[in-house]
Amino acid sequence: MTALSVSTSSAASLRADALVIGVAKGPKGIVLAPGAEAVSEAFEGKLAEILSTLGATGAEGEAVKVPSPAGLKAALVLAVGLGDAAEGSYELEALRRAAGVAARALAGSKKAALALPAESAEETEAVALGGLLGAYAFGTYKSGGGKEPVGELILLSTRKGSKDAKAAVERALVVGEEMNRARDLVNTAPNDLNPKGFAAIAQAAGKEHGLKVEVLDEKALLKGGFGGLLGVGNGSTNPPRLVKVAYTHPKAKASLAFVGKGITYDSGGISLKPAGHNETMKCDMAGAAAVFAAVVSAKRLGLAVNITGWLALAENMPSGSATRPGDVLRMYGGKTVEVLNTDAEGRLVLADAIVRAGEEKPDVIVDVATLTGAMMLALGSRTFGVMANNDELRSTLHTASGEVGEQSWPMPLPPELRKGMTESTIADLANMGERMGGGLVAGLFLKEFVAEGIDWAHLDIAGPAFHEGAPFGYTPKGGTATAVRTLVRFAEQKAAGGKA
């Protein structure tokens, strides 16, 4: 992973392959952002004019390179766009994205200095995290030919020695490393990451970071009556797993349960997906990857809160032993479910895990899942939906996601949509309901398995979990690690005594 360091050296005196500055769109042309003063002096005050001549506008996502003059030790100046000029401080997400653009543009470089606005601890963290995420590259299967990520990012900040700046950089390092771990998991080919393999990775991380990890294999799941996980995994030669990753803190006053959907490959089962919809289904375990990364992050940050992550891992395949449409599964806890569509499998493995999580009486359960195509139709490819049985909790998670730069939107759980699932003539529930509002129906299904008195929220990350287009900001093509930052921010709030 790209190294990160902080320096109080002046931009002019720092030796690096490239020096990154921010530019913005002003009313009369481009405006140099704070941090670029020394660089501008080296260009004798003509830097903005030169950049404009080269076509720079300051728009978000823009990157323009200029050879350095004699007054700079860095060989190259890279100007990245921040969007509209700010009267005071720039939005943190604009800084994250600009740093990410810079890191991607400088792939192959050994050392780059970031002279972006970083006066406050929040700005320092934003620049550091954006740079680390933008530098990400997944090269496991590449046999040469690709550029290596930038080797080191040096963050120029006047706050290097301050306690809050040090904490900000440490937080960026932890969250960035764990998000990139989650991205690696999502990007790994499904023949190399099955439920057993994912469980082994969790066990190794548990030993490394001092987390308690328990794995229920297919025999333990059968003995315990986990009908949802077993039903989904029946068609695969790779049996399911339920993994518990627990972090406890001696001063914790709140306990959280994070539950992640971990379908390591989703063919749709007997209800086979149509051609063109299978190629990216290695990403159907992105919820479990996010939960895993969030719990490890909480441990590394030492948050004063107890968190248990539940990874519901299975592979959904068609075969002679696969669950059929029309089968009835007896879920963990005793409820029966008529399976009308085997491609609505995520809710089945989550239901088992939610019931199990509820037995430990956490204050809050939050599940994370690439659950429904309907949520993508509703919110697009960059926004996830937030549902909850508690309006305050839903609002808290929506706000938390915005604070850390993740796009979400609060969604309802209309009680009238419940009827379609409860009309099964042979079971307590069906795993399908009305077609319209399918993302909400899935949320209502999960709500049926939440124990009385426990606050619960559901994050449907189907849209933003896997990015198929060109990279932008700090977001690469492929796995994005969506929801990790939201979960970590929520945990931090609970550690600080937040209510919802």
> What's the mean pLDDT in 312-320?
98
Q: Judge whether residue 224 has pLDDT over 90.
A: yes
pLDDT band at residue 499 under the 50/70/90 scheme: low
List active site positions. 273, 347
What would the DSSP string read from start to end of 194-211?
A: -HHHHHHHHHHHHHHHT-
**Average pLDDT for 447-456:** 98
Kindly state the average pLDDT of the residues 2-12.
Answer: 88
Percent of the chain with pLDDT over 70: 98
pLDDT digits (tens, 9 = 90+) for 33-77: 999 999 999 999 999 999 999 999 999 999 999 999 998 999 999
Contact between 242 and 229 (Cβ < 8 Å)? yes
pLDDT of the residue at 159: 65
Residue 166 has pLDDT above 90, yes or no: no
Confidence check: pLDDT of 208 > 60: yes
Domains 3-157 and 180-495 share a fold: no
- DSSP assignment of 109-165: -SEEEEES---SHHHHHHHHHHHHHHT----TT--S-SPPPPSEEEEE-TTTTSHHH
Higher pLDDT, 357 or 86: 357
Could you report how far apart the first and last alpha carbons of the chain are, in Å?
Answer: 35
Q: Does the structure show a pLDDT above 60 at 273?
A: yes
DSSP state of 66: E
What is the predicted pLDDT for the residue at 186? Answer: 98
In the predicted model, what is the mean pLDDT of the chain?
Answer: 95
Positive or negative, the CA dihedral 227, 228, 233, 239 is: negative
Q: Which helix (H) or strand (E) holds 498?
A: none
**What is the chain's Cα-based Rg?**
24
SS (H, E, C) 72-86: CCCCEEEEEEEEECC
* CATH number, span 3-157: 3.40.220.10
For residue 275, the model assigns a pLDDT of 86
Q: Which sequence spans correspond to the domains of the chain?
A: 3-157, 180-495
Q: Are 447 and 361 in contact (CB under 8 A)?
A: no
DSSP label at residue 399: H
Tens of pLDDT along 241-269? 999 999 999 999 999 999 999 999 999 99
Output the CATH code of domain 180-495: 3.40.630.10
pLDDT of residue 500: 55
Q: How confident is the model at residue 8 (pLDDT cuts 50, 70, 90)?
A: confident
Q: How many CB atoms lie within 10 A of CB 392?
A: 11
The pLDDT value recorded for residue 463 is 97
Evaluate if residue 365 carries a pLDDT over 70: yes
On the question of pLDDT at 145 being above 80, the answer is no
pLDDT band, residue 161 (cuts 50/70/90):
low
**Would you say 277 and 328 are in contact if contact means Cβ atoms under 8 Å apart?**
no
